[in-house]
Chains A and B, each alone.
Chain A
Amino acid sequence: MSIGSRLATLRSTESPGSVSTPVVVLSAAIAATVLSPLAWLLWQASVVGVGGAVDLFTSPTAVEVLANSLALTALVTGASILLGVPLAVLTVQTDLPFRRAWTVLVALPLVIPSYIGAFAYISLPNLFETLGLTAAIGVTPPTIYGLWGTGLVLTLFVFPYVFLTTRASLLSFDQAQLEAARTLNHGYVSAFRRVILPQILPGVTAGSLLVALYALSDFGTPAMMRYDVFTRVIFVELNSFGDGRANATLFSVQLLAVTAVILALESRVSSDDTSGYGTPASSSVVLSLGRYRWLATLLPAGVTLFTLGLPVAILTMWLVRSGPGYAGGGLAFSPEFALNSVVVSALAAAATVLLALPVAYYAGRSDSRIAHLVERSTYLGYAMPGVVLGLALVFFASQWLLEAVGPGAVQVVYQSLPLLVFAYVVRFLPQAVGSTRSSVLGVDPELLGAARLLGASRRRTFRRVTLPLIAPGLLAGTALVFLTTMKELPATLILHPTGFTTIVTYIWRVQEAGYYGRGALPALVLVTLSGLSMLQILRQERQ
């Protein structure tokens, strides 16, 4: 084939970088599959009927649950802004000592599951006794259950969302504008209010909405802290008899509605982004703290004490303080549990990345509306609280299969490993799609054109050029999904096969039984694993 005819072939079809029809169909099918639990749930809810729904929503319990959920969300979001914004300013704009180290330490709690924090904070009084502080002060702090306990723990572990998005906004803020404001008779505080704040507000808001979403959908922390929010009530109803399942469905729909409101706000914020036209400036120090430099380290140090120091101290205390009262009851930890965690996480990571590849490739190579829609719909699994996803899949496997296929099918699917892996795929597909898509975007379309001109087919071009180039992104996505799956609580708890214990379900069981000492080692293992995922995220950021 002459060059001329090759060019003609390319021109006659589409540009060499475009996506073939099978990929489009496959991507759409994956998106539809991921969306199916949500569709299933909404259909189930419609079966309950309007009358039952109104009765339930207006019952004192329902009103209390809604009020509790909103109160918790508001408390955690507000507190996260109060912690996150000042810390972002300190680490970006001032000459705070060890800024880089504090940045990592302050962001680190984000990757530690908040229920580990709750697990640790429940036994804060025990730490006081062990260290002899109770004797010294004469008081034991009470265990902090309820709104304040849940709010405290959630804030400590999710405020980094606000910290990180605010940081990103501050880093892209043109520092010359601050200097301009100062030569125009404004001190730092006044300049911050009139020039910096209006421009970093989209970043702060984006982080706050992420915090709100997390606070609303988190199951482990309110469950351990005994605070009745949607997720806890749904879980309790799911495991009860009678109207339990129907109630759980309606609560789930209510929770999804509140979630949808937050998501709508979020899409509004990101589209509202009025970015500057100037060049982003360096991260040079613009505010010298002078003699308050060292005093200012008290803020990040204090936060780190509460997010990392105290929890690790408490878990270590349980680890070294052995005794019949703390360990017992036939709940001994077995290495098999860790192996189970690793196996199921590896399966989930492999499946997720495999399914993410066509979607990410399509989304990265095409600007069409369908491509955007397909990519967006895979993100829905992220917004769906784990408890709700678990509930939808339980219904699907136990009820629908029973009616449509028969009891045999239920035995095969319900509480089976594939169903659990599917739940992980739905939850964590966005992570893999995100990292894969950005690496697909990094591949210069000209390279694909060059390969085609050199006579390679579309398939060969993908195998020889695209795949090697996006391999790092795929690997990063796999690692991230693997580590996140290791820590996942609600879906694992609801869908794990009988007798299949993982690190997470083990921690849950010993916590419920009150054998905190037993949970210390696996909890510390999870904290360490979380540190690994932070390394992974940092490495990605550097690229």
Chain B
Amino acid sequence: MSHQRPTTDELSDPASRGDDAVTSDSRTETGGDPTDEPVLELSGVVKRFGTETAVSGVDLAVNEGELLTLLGPSGCGKTTTLRTIAGLEQPTEGVVRVRGEVVAGEGQFVPPEQRNVGMVFQEFALFPHLSVAENIAFGLTEMDAAATDERVAELLDLVGLSDYGDRSPADLSGGQRQRVALARSLAPEPDVLLLDEPFSNLDVRLRVEMREEVRRIIKAAGVTAISVTHDQEEALSISDRVAVMHDGTIEQVAAPGELFEHPESRFVASFIGRASFLAARVEGETIETAIGTFPRSLLKGLSDEYVGADVDVLVRPDDLRATATTEAEALGRVVERRYTGPSFVYHVELGDGQVVHCLHNHAENFEVGDYVGVELGADHTLAWYPAR
């Protein structure tokens, strides 16, 4: 995470200095051919609209053949970052490089049509007056008619719409429009493909299906891609790496597994996986919490200087279990239960007022008001943050 601009909060956060064992992701081997030279590089990119700062210093490097997702809540600057890469916005400060060439910054600005960067728009932005084939051929400005036809057929085949070339975009379903949009942006063989909330315009059922399909197409085309979303499930499921954005900066860039297990900041931790925090005090070789005493080694990379200090431990619903018990031995009471279909999430208020979340399958049943015990069942080290 050398590209990340460290904040004071993170400097004092030993988790980010802990062992940097990269959780290898099998996907990076199956798709593309990642090399060391980044295809796209952003350094110190800032974008201000009037007095409003949308992006405040983004550093990012994306490798050949990689699919990276910018993940963050609305208004975090992810779409602005994407538009800056496309050339649809001009950065106020900083430099954008594509294949080592400066396309924005250092006194230069290459317009979008000369960047060799493709984009799939949120509403797809297909040209309604052109057929599917004409849409796909639109960016092929330097090919002769025969070569264009061949390339269009190739792409229609890639996205599984071989028989749809003569249709009008208005006659297509949402999923088909997305395939056309993807084919159109891939046709001129861009160095970088950008996807702006590509699934937000589809209904829920189709969304899951298209995630797999879009990933397949991108990997088959071998293009370097950057997508933008606010949906963590989408980001974790399609990406080789995920960059979590917050308030105009990137908080962490990591493979999905690494990001989930070892979030480097409180924001990343709370944004991903419905986490809650459990207050703890470090006592020599153990830590004391409201649900019991645990060995210090449970917390990842906790150094001696924190002995005697208060910390917050990140606990996810699947790390905790509620157990049936008597009122006298109870650690807390169920204050809310949420039924999500296959499982329940119980909100348990502990004796000191903290609320933690416990995940159960739908067979185990507690009522709101029940007195329960809480067990920590994590088989991995836990992330922690100095208490605020």
Interface hits, A232-289 → B, CB 8 Å: 274-279
Binds A, one of B21-29, B111-119, B313-321, B370-378: B111-119
**In the complex, which residues of chain A have a beta carbon less than 8 angstroms from the beta carbon of B187?**
184
**In the complex, which residues of chain A have a beta carbon less than 8 angstroms from the beta carbon of B185?**
183-184
Binds B, one of A29-37, A100-108, A174-182, A434-442: A174-182
Q: What's the Cα separation between A185 and B187 when bound, in Å?
A: 11
Extra 13 A-B pairs, beta carbons < 8 Å, given A180-B127, A279-B123 = A174-B125, A180-B184, A181-B138, A182-B112, A184-B113, A184-B138, A184-B185, A185-B113, A185-B114, A186-B139, A195-B127, A274-B128, A276-B170
Interface of B with A (CB < 8 Å)?
86-88, 111-115, 117-119, 121-129, 138-139, 141, 169-170, 184-185, 187-188, 194
A180 in complex: contacting residue of B115, B121, B129, B170, CB < 8 Å = B121
- Asked if A277 and B170 sit within 8 Å, CB to CB, the answer is yes
A183 in complex: contacting residue of B86, B122, B127, CB < 8 Å = B86
Q: What's the Cα separation between A194 and B126 when bound, in Å?
A: 13
- Asked if A184 and B139 sit within 8 Å, CB to CB, the answer is yes
8 closest Cβ pairs, A-B complex: A184-B139, A176-B125, A180-B125, A182-B112, A276-B128, A183-B119, A198-B129, A177-B125
Name B's interface SS. Answer: loop
**Is the C-beta of A187 less than 8 angstroms from some C-beta in chain B?**
yes
**In the complex, which residues of chain A have a beta carbon less than 8 angstroms from the beta carbon of B138?**
181, 184, 186, 194
- Asked if B88 and A182 sit within 8 Å, CB to CB, the answer is yes
The 12 sampled A-B contact pairs (Cβ below 8 Å) are A174-B125, A176-B121, A176-B123, A176-B125, A181-B127, A182-B88, A182-B112, A183-B185, A184-B113, A184-B188, A277-B170, A278-B124
Q: What class of interface size applies to chain A in its complex with B?
A: 20 to 34
Interface hits, A173-223 → B, CB 8 Å: 174, 176-177, 179-187, 194-195, 198-199
- Asked if B128 and A183 sit within 8 Å, CB to CB, the answer is no
Interface of A with B (CB < 8 Å)?
174, 176-177, 179-187, 194-195, 198-199, 274-279
**In the complex, which residues of chain A have a beta carbon less than 8 angstroms from the beta carbon of B117?**
183
- Asked if B169 and A277 sit within 8 Å, CB to CB, the answer is yes
- Asked if B169 and A183 sit within 8 Å, CB to CB, the answer is no
- Asked if A187 and B121 sit within 8 Å, CB to CB, the answer is no
Most chain A C-beta atoms within 10 Å of own C-beta, residue among B111, B126, B194: B126
- Asked if B188 and A185 sit within 8 Å, CB to CB, the answer is yes
A176-B121, A179-B112, A180-B119 given as contacts; is B128 within 8 A of A185 (CB)? no
Please name the residue on chain A nearest to B188 by beta carbon. Answer: A185
Most chain A C-beta atoms within 10 Å of own C-beta, residue among B124, B125, B141: B125
Q: Return A74 CB to nearest CB of chain B, in Å.
A: 27
A199 in complex: contacting residue of B111, B128, B139, CB < 8 Å = B128
Q: Return B134 CB to nearest CB of chain A, in Å.
A: 10
Most chain A C-beta atoms within 10 Å of own C-beta, residue among B88, B113, B141: B113
Please name the residue on chain A nearest to B115 by beta carbon. Answer: A183
**In the complex, which residues of chain A have a beta carbon less than 8 angstroms from the beta carbon of B184?**
180, 184
- Asked if B124 and A183 sit within 8 Å, CB to CB, the answer is no
Q: What's the Cα separation between A354 and B52 when bound, in Å?
A: 53
Please name the residue on chain A nearest to B114 by beta carbon. Answer: A185
Q: What's the Cα separation between A183 and B139 when bound, in Å?
A: 8
Please name the residue on chain A nearest to B187 by beta carbon. Answer: A184
Q: What's the Cα separation between A278 and B114 when bound, in Å?
A: 26
Please name the residue on chain B nearest to A277 by beta carbon. Answer: B170
Most chain B C-beta atoms within 10 Å of own C-beta, residue among A183, A194, A198: A183
**In the complex, which residues of chain A have a beta carbon less than 8 angstroms from the beta carbon of B123?**
174, 176, 278-279
Please name the residue on chain B nearest to A182 by beta carbon. Answer: B112
B118 in complex: contacting residue of A184, A195, A199, CB < 8 Å = A184
- Asked if A278 and B128 sit within 8 Å, CB to CB, the answer is yes
Most chain B C-beta atoms within 10 Å of own C-beta, residue among A179, A187, A278: A278
